[in-house]
Structure 1
Amino acid sequence: MEHLVRSCYKKKSGYVFARKAEDIAREYGIDRIARLASNENPEPLSPAALEAAETALKSVNRYPDEKVNVLMNALRAHYGDYHFVTGVGMDGVIETIIRTLVEPGEQVAISTPTFSFYALAAMGQGAGLVTIPREPDFSVDTKKLVKAAKTAKVTILCSPNNPTGNATPIDAVVEILEGIEGLLFLDNAYVEFSGIDYLPLMKKHENLVLGRTFSKVYSLAGLRIGYAFTPRWLPPWYQRSGTPFTVNAVSMAAAAAALPDTAHAERYIAQVKRWRKRFAADVKFPVLPSDANFVMVDVTPHTSDEMVEELARHGVVVRSCRSFSGLPDHFIRVSVGEDWENELFVKVINSL
């Protein structure tokens, strides 16, 4: 019965995951693994978020609030008078926005190399893909992007970009917004680590959506909750096309309680900024400048997979960038973890 599977998925592989720390520990007999592959916050969730999650867990025999009011109220209290949508991770938000706006056959434009799920979500809706390669330094040529994405229904740009780490300047984003005819989804999963504030653009541009996540600074990766700032016109249509009850009660409560705990977020942001400098100074391979909670390292003359495997043998899990379309096969991505994890990575990679 495999002939029933859609041809687009037969032609293109699905999302490629990093190797699991548990598998590496078992294979090499290592008790303690440095988990630096998935851009997670190594610090547990805040006590306030944990307490809220435990309380919500007691009522999971009932469906959650379909309007996600607890979280919506928390977002408005934290950020001010904006319009929001939510989803199961930012992946869920992206998928629903494409479902809401893109008819089969219409175009989705993507700046590459970048997060592979954008293309998977577009294919799932039957969209045509337009990919616009970044420059050799991984910056965005805005004129080239606008020309290629001019008539696309949705254009997706990640800033700071995964896996390259660099952010797109605000004036470049404005040039894109004013040059395209469709909507720009600006993935801001890592924006808290950049010092760049794209929010003022929401007041001026009706074709901008800013995607955010609770997976990074708020330590809620396992609860899978994302949100986005949207123009006023979008939320009613998003709710109409969205899957019912996507945000569960536990995630909703934890996220709402995590937002006011700015000290929790600021601790990890400070850790990230400190270790980005350390990686650049101490790693013997070239470390690219980053505005995210990870760095990309050029491990030439090794391939991505070769270096990942060698680091795994010594108890360090990092991400091979081989699966990022358009990226040469000699880069790895390294998240900022706990001090001991980061120290171990530097020690091991410099010894190879």
Structure 2
Amino acid sequence: MERLVRSCYKKKSGYVFAKKAEDIAREYGMTRIARLASNENPEPLSPAALEAAEAALKTVNRYPDERVNVLMNALRATYGDFHFVTGVGMDGVIETIIRTLVEPGEKVAISTPTFSFYALAAMGQGAEVVTIPREADFSADPKRLVNAAKDAKITVLCSPNNPTGNATPIPVVEEILEGIEGLLFLDNAYVEFSGIDYLPLMKKHENLVLGRTMSKVHSLAGLRIGYAFTPRWLPPWYQRAGTPFTVNAVSMAAAAAALGDTAHAERYRAQVKRWRTRFTDEVKYPVLPSDANFVMIDVAPHRSDEMVEELARKGVVVRSCRSFAGLEDHYIRVSVGEDWENELFVKVINTL
């Protein structure tokens, strides 16, 4: 019966996950592993978020609020009078926006190398995926991007970009918005670590969506909460196309409470800023400039998987960048973790 599987999935692999710390611990007989592969916040969720989540557990015999009012109210209290949509992680938001707007055969343009799920989600909707390579320094050339994406239904740009870490300047984003005919989905999963504020663009452009996540700065990766700032016209259609009850009651309550705990977020932002500098200064391999909570490192003449395996043998899990299409096979991505994890990484990689 495998003949029933769609041909697009037979031709391309799915999302490539980083090695699991638990698997490496078992393989090498270790009890403590530095987990620096998945861009997670190593700090547990805030006490306020934990308390809200525990209270919400008492209600899970009922379906959650389909309007996600608790979270919507918290988002407006935090950011002001914007329009929002929510989903199961940033992935869920991306998938639903593509489902809402893209007919089979229509074009989705993606600036690469970048997060692979954009192409997987577009492919799943039957879209024609067009990739626009970044420049040698991994910046996005607005003229090149607009020329390739002018007639695309959706153009996807990640800023700060995963896995390269660099952010796209606001004037470049604005030039893209003014040059394309369709929607720009600007993935801001790591924007809290950048110091860049793209929100003023929402007041000027009705073809912009800013995607965000609670997984990084707010320590809620395991609860899978994504949201986006959208133009006024989009939410009613998004709701019509969306899967019912995607945001569960526990995640909703925890996310709303986490938005109010600014001290929790600020601690990790400070940790990221400090360790990006230390990685740059102390690692013997070239560390690319980063506006995210990770850095990308050029480990040539080593190959990506080779370096990941050597680090794993020493108790450090990082991400190989080999699976990022368009990226040469000598880069690794390293998240900012706890002090002991970061220190172990620096110590080990400088011996390799």
TM range (shorter): over 0.9
1:151-185 C-alpha deviation (Å, 9 max, x unpaired):
00000000000000000000000000000000000
For 1:290 and 1:76, the matched residues in 2 are separated by 29
After superposition, what is the alpha-carbon deviation per residue over 1:11-53, rounded to whole angstroms, capped at 9, x for unaligned? 1100000000000000001110000000000000000000000
Counterpart of 1:260, as a letter, is: G
The residue that corresponds to 1:46 in the other structure is 46
- Counterpart position of 2:257: 257
Aligned-partner Cα distance in 1 for 2:327–2:20: 23
Following superposition, the deviation at residue 109 of structure 1 comes to 0.2
CA distance, structure 2, for counterparts of residue 200 and residue 141 of structure 1:
22
| Matches of 2:303 and 2:9, distance apart in 1 | 27
- In 2: Cα distance, 1:133 partner to 1:350 partner: 31
Aligned runs of 1:1-352 on 2, under 5 Å? 1-352=1-352
State the SS of the aligned residue for 1:196.
coil
Aligned residue identity for 1:64: P
- Once the 2 structures are TM-superposed, how far is the Cα of residue 199 of structure 1 from its aligned partner? 0.1
Q: CA deviation at 1:206?
A: 0.2
Q: CA deviation at 1:69?
A: 0.2
Q: Cα deviation per residue 1:124-171 (whole Å; 9 max; x = unaligned)? A: 000001100000100011100000000000000000000000000000
Q: Kindly tell me the number of residue pairs found equivalent between the two proteins.
A: 352
Structure 1 residue 223: deviation in Å?
0.1
Displacement of 1:76: 0.2
Report the CA distance between 1:295 and its aligned residue: 0.1
For 1:216 and 1:266, locate their aligned partners in 2 and report how far apart those are by CA, in whole Å: 12
State the 1:254 CA deviation. Answer: 0.1
Per the alignment, in what secondary structure is the counterpart of residue 286 of structure 2?
coil
Q: Any gaps of 5 or more consecutive residues in structure 1?
A: none
Aligned alpha-carbon RMSD (Å): 0.3
Inter-partner Cα distance in structure 2 for 1:132 and 1:23: 36
Alpha-carbon distance in structure 1 between the residues aligned to 2:289 and 2:253: 36
Letter of the structure 2 residue corresponding to residue 106 of structure 1: E
Q: In structure 1, the residue corresponding to 2:253 is in which secondary structure?
A: helix
**Unmatched tracts of structure 2, length 5 or more:** none
AA paired with 2:306? E
Q: Write the letter of the residue equivalent to 1:95.
A: E
Q: Give 2:129's aligned amino acid.
A: L
Match of 2:216, as an amino acid? Answer: K
Runs (4+) off by over 4 Å:
none
For 1:187 and 1:22, how far apart are their aligned partners in 2? 30
Name the CA distance, whole Å, in 1 between partners of 2:6 and 2:175.
Answer: 37
Aligned equivalents of 2:120, 2:4: Cα separation in 1 = 18
Distance 2:208 2:113 in 1: 21
Q: Provide the rounded CA distance (Å) in 2 between the counterparts of 1:244 and 1:15.
A: 24
* Structure 2 CA distance for aligned equivalents of residues 149 and 11 of structure 1: 24
Residue aligned with 1:259, SS: helix
TM-score normalized by the length of structure 1: 1.00
**Percent of aligned pairs sharing the same letter:** 88
Amino acid at match of 1:138: F
Shift in Å at residue 244 of structure 1? 0.1
Instruction: Output the CA distance in 2 between the equivalents of 1:58 and 1:27.
Output: 39
Question: TM-score if structure 2 supplies the norm length?
Answer: 1.00
1:195 shift after superposition: 0.1
Report deviation, 1:338: 0.1
